[in-house]
Amino acid sequence: MAGPRVEVDGSIMEGGGQILRVSTALSCLLGLPLRVQKIRAGRSTPGLRPQHLSGLEMIRDLCDGRLEGAEIGSTEITFTPEKIKGGIHTADTKTAGSVCLLMQVSMPCVLFAASPSELHLKGGTNAEMAPQIDYTVMVFKPIVEKFGFRFNCDIKTRGYYPKGGGEVIVRMSPVKQLNPINLTDRGCVTKIYGRAFVAGVLPFKVAKDMAAAAVRCIRKEIRDLYVNIQPVQEPKDQAFGNGNGIIIIAETSTGCLFAGSSLGKRGVNADKVGIEAAEMLLANLRHGGTVDEYLQDQLIVFMALANGVSRIKTGPVTLHTQTAIHFAEQIAKAKFIVKKSEDEEDASKDTYIIECQGIGMTNPNL
């Protein structure tokens, strides 16, 4: 099974944890031994951080693989995958490291397992520099399920920076193959909704202020739609630590979903958090694509594995997306074409079509 090792330079392009996630997931799926060097070489704290390590250990456990060089601060690892198995797997970042990033690395793998899986992911559910769990459930889930699978995401406890302490349980069954997707028809915005939350010691007024400021900001640009942002006090027994934040979703007539989100930080007033999320959402609605800038790169691996041609329409192609494409081409040998959209209504906008000829990965266990 083990051929020559795939060599990956972890310092190019996005240069961070994403390279590790994409390359180890593909290595695991395709049974290709892997060496990643110069991991996060350009970052202020180079090498593996706790959340990267727990992601690697999880992938290793999913397939009874061999992992060498995996410790905090390490800049080189080798990974030798074996057969992917289902069952119960736990990954704990022991920090506010994002459970959503753990989900990103493990989900493609367990789709091609021998039996259903239950992933117990522990860490931050609403953390900086990563999708919030609400984004994963409200935006990522309905779109990624278009590839022809279902998963269930049960948020047991929410956890915030700096302690983490959140837990999410993801359940999914394997598939034989993934269907390609075609997301090129934007439609028009029909609904805008969201949630503004406070947890721990923060007063409920903060949630109301974030929501109100966000609504005011959106109203300036979109007048004819009711904007429904619920202020929420996270129940004491379902949230660990203190935090506040907001996520706002726009839904279109064709089922496209876009989001803007923001997390509160000490000393930043609530209005500013709400406005930041609203402005992010509005920016994502201006470019004419069918996915927002955060969903773009999360779909690449699935497109690469699918059986047939997938197309998505996006705004400017992010560095994360370019990185995912690079490694999907290098490791999985999928073929991508990125070109400017030729539709009339996109002419004045920065809109692109990402097209992929997927490799038609087949689950050997089913």
Active-site residue set = 320
Residue 70 to residue 54: CA distance in whole angstroms = 10
230 in a known ligand binding site: no
Residue 214 to residue 209: CA distance in whole angstroms = 8
Residue 125 to residue 310: CA distance in whole angstroms = 30
226 in a known ligand binding site: no
320 in a known ligand binding site: yes
Rg (CA), the chain: 20
Residue 102 to residue 131: CA distance in whole angstroms = 11
298 in a known ligand binding site: yes
Beta partners for 113?
none
The letter for the amino acid at 61 is D
In the block, tokens 């269907």 appear at: 179
294 in a known ligand binding site: yes
330 in a known ligand binding site: no
Residue 177 to residue 306: CA distance in whole angstroms = 7
The letter for the amino acid at 137 is V
The letter for the amino acid at 314 is T
Binding residues for ATP, as ranges, are: 104, 131, 294, 297-298, 320
